[in-house]
Structure 1
Amino acid sequence: MATNVLVIQADQFRADCLGVAGNPDVRTPHLDRLAADGVRYRNAYCPFPVCTPSRYSLVSGLHVRQHGGWTNHCTLAPGIDTFPRALRRAGYRTAAVGKMHFTPTYLDVGYDHLELAEQDGPGRYDDDYHRELAAAGLAPVTDLIDQEREFRALAPQSYWDTYGSGRSNLPEEWHSTAWIGERARRVLAGWSDSGGQLLHVSFVKPHHPFDPPAGWDETYDAAALTPLPGWTEGIPAADQRHRREYFDYGRLDLPRLRQVMAHYYATITHLDHEVGRMLDLLRQRGLYDDTMIVFTADHGEYLGFHHLLLKDGPMYDPVVKVPLLVKFPGRQRPGEAADALVSLIDVAPTVLSACGLPPATPLPGKDLADPAAGHDCVFAEDRRHGIAGMARTDRYKLLWSDVAGEALFDLTADPHELANVVDDPAHGDALRLMREAVARWALYDATPPTYLDPAARHQLFAGAVAEHRTGG
Structure 2
Amino acid sequence: MPNVLIIQADQFRADCLGVAGNPDVRTPHLDRLAADGVRHREAYCPFPVCTPSRYSLLTGLHVRQHGGWTNRCTLAPGIDTFPRALRRAGYRTAAVGKMHFTPTYLDVGYDQLELAEQDGPGRYDDDYHRDLAAAGLAPVTDLIDQEREFRATAPSSYWDTFGTGRSNLPEEWHSTSWIGERARRVLAGWTETGDHLLHVSFVKPHHPFDPPAGWDDAYDPAALTPLPGWTDTIPAADRRHRREYFDYEPLDLPRLRQVMAHYYATITHLDHEVGRLLDLLRRRGLYDDTLIVFTADHGEYLGFHHLLLKDGPMYDPVVKVPLLVKLPGQRRRGEVSDALVSLIDVAPTVLATCALPPASPLPGTDLTDPAAGHDTVLAEDRRHGVAGMIRDRRHKLLWSDVAGDALFDLAADPYELTNVVDDPAHDDALRRLRAAAARWALHDATPPTYLDPAAPQRGAATAGDRAVRQELFAGAVERYRTDR
Specify the TM-score bucket, using the shorter chain as the normaliser: over 0.9
Give yes or no for the alignment of 1:363 onto 2:359.
no
Distance in 2, Cα, partners of 1:32 & 1:276: 10
Q: CA deviation at 1:442?
A: 2.1
Distance in 2, Cα, partners of 1:315 & 1:104: 28
Q: CA deviation at 1:403?
A: 2.3
Which residue is equivalent to 1:196? 195
Q: Please, what is the CA RMSD of the aligned residues?
A: 1.2
Q: CA deviation at 1:245?
A: 2.4
Moved more, 395-404 or 96-105: 395-404
Which residue is equivalent to 1:229? 228
Distance in 1, Cα, partners of 2:261 & 2:447: 41
Query: SS of the counterpart of 1:200?
Result: strand
Give yes or no for the alignment of 1:178 onto 2:177.
yes
Output the amino acid matched with 2:84: R
Distance in 1, Cα, partners of 2:212 & 2:458: 32
User: Cα gap change, 1:70/1:244 in structure 2, threshold over 3 Å: closer, same or farther?
Assistant: closer
Q: CA deviation at 1:244?
A: 4.0
Output the amino acid matched with 1:393: D
Which residue is equivalent to 1:280? 279
Deviations, residues 262-304 of structure 1 (Å, cap 9, x unaligned): 0000000000000000000000000000000000000000000
- Preserved CA contact (<8 Å) 1:65 1:446: no
Distance in 1, Cα, partners of 2:453 & 2:147: 20
Structure 2 regions of 5+ residues with no counterpart?
462-484
Q: Could you tell me the TM-score, scaled by structure 1's length?
A: 0.96
Identity of aligned residues (%): 86
Which residue is equivalent to 1:393? 392
Distance in 2, Cα, partners of 1:430 & 1:247: 35
Output the amino acid matched with 1:368: L
Distance in 1, Cα, partners of 2:257 & 2:216: 13
- Preserved CA contact (<8 Å) 2:95 2:200: yes
Which residue is equivalent to 2:474? none
Query: SS of the counterpart of 2:240?
Result: helix
Deviations, residues 72-106 of structure 1 (Å, cap 9, x unaligned): 00000000000000000000000000000000000
Q: CA deviation at 1:401?
A: 1.3
Distance in 2, Cα, partners of 1:347 & 1:445: 26
Distance in 2, Cα, partners of 1:453 & 1:92: 27
Query: SS of the counterpart of 1:211?
Result: coil
Q: CA deviation at 1:444?
A: 12
- Preserved CA contact (<8 Å) 1:235 1:243: no
Which residue is equivalent to 1:115? 114
Moved more, 40-49 or 234-243: 234-243
Output the amino acid matched with 2:189: G
Output the amino acid matched with 1:227: P
Within 5 Å, which residues of 2 pair with 1:392-431? Answer: 392-431=391-430
- Preserved CA contact (<8 Å) 2:159 2:246: yes
Which residue is equivalent to 1:187? 186
Output the amino acid matched with 2:123: R
- Preserved CA contact (<8 Å) 1:231 1:307: yes
Deviations, residues 133-180 of structure 1 (Å, cap 9, x unaligned): 000000000000000001001100000000000100000000000000
- Preserved CA contact (<8 Å) 2:55 2:68: yes
Deviations, residues 433-455 of structure 1 (Å, cap 9, x unaligned): 11011111228998420000000
- Preserved CA contact (<8 Å) 1:65 1:445: no
Deviations, residues 400-421 of structure 1 (Å, cap 9, x unaligned): 1122210000000000000000
Which residue is equivalent to 1:94? 93
Distance in 1, Cα, partners of 2:440 & 2:101: 27
Which residue is equivalent to 2:22? 23
- Preserved CA contact (<8 Å) 2:242 2:312: no
Deviations, residues 226-252 of structure 1 (Å, cap 9, x unaligned): 000000000000011347420010000
Distance in 2, Cα, partners of 1:304 & 1:63: 28
Within 5 Å, which residues of 2 pair with 1:54-453? Answer: 54-242=53-241, 244-442=243-441, 447-453=446-452
Distance in 2, Cα, partners of 1:168 & 1:226: 24
Moved more, 83-92 or 439-448: 439-448
User: Cα gap change, 1:350/1:74 in structure 2, threshold over 3 Å: closer, same or farther?
Assistant: same
Query: SS of the counterpart of 2:65?
Result: helix
Distance in 2, Cα, partners of 1:400 & 1:163: 28
Query: SS of the counterpart of 1:249?
Result: coil
Distance in 2, Cα, partners of 1:308 & 1:403: 17
- Preserved CA contact (<8 Å) 2:237 2:403: no
Output the amino acid matched with 2:305: H
Which residue is equivalent to 2:52? 53
Q: CA deviation at 1:335?
A: 0.6
- Preserved CA contact (<8 Å) 1:43 1:339: yes
- Preserved CA contact (<8 Å) 1:12 1:300: yes
User: Cα gap change, 1:326/1:445 in structure 2, threshold over 3 Å: closer, same or farther?
Assistant: farther
Structure 1 regions of 5+ residues with no counterpart?
463-472
Query: SS of the counterpart of 2:239?
Result: helix
Query: SS of the counterpart of 2:4?
Result: strand
Output the amino acid matched with 2:251: L
Query: SS of the counterpart of 1:77?
Result: coil
- Preserved CA contact (<8 Å) 1:66 1:444: no
Distance in 1, Cα, partners of 2:384 & 2:398: 13
Distance in 2, Cα, partners of 1:259 & 1:339: 32
Distance in 2, Cα, partners of 1:461 & 1:120: 16
Distance in 1, Cα, partners of 2:438 & 2:74: 27
Query: SS of the counterpart of 1:310?
Result: coil
- Preserved CA contact (<8 Å) 1:296 1:325: yes
Which residue is equivalent to 2:465? none
- Preserved CA contact (<8 Å) 1:113 1:461: no
Query: SS of the counterpart of 2:340?
Result: strand
Which residue is equivalent to 1:465? none
Q: Could you tell me the TM-score, scaled by structure 2's length?
A: 0.94
Q: CA deviation at 1:114?
A: 0.2
Query: Which aligned runs of 4 or more in structure 1 are off by greater than 6 angstroms?
Result: 443-446
- Preserved CA contact (<8 Å) 2:242 2:311: no
Distance in 2, Cα, partners of 1:160 & 1:307: 16
Distance in 1, Cα, partners of 2:267 & 2:242: 26
Which residue is equivalent to 2:467? none
Output the amino acid matched with 1:326: V
Q: CA deviation at 1:384?
A: 1.1
Q: CA deviation at 1:390?
A: 0.3
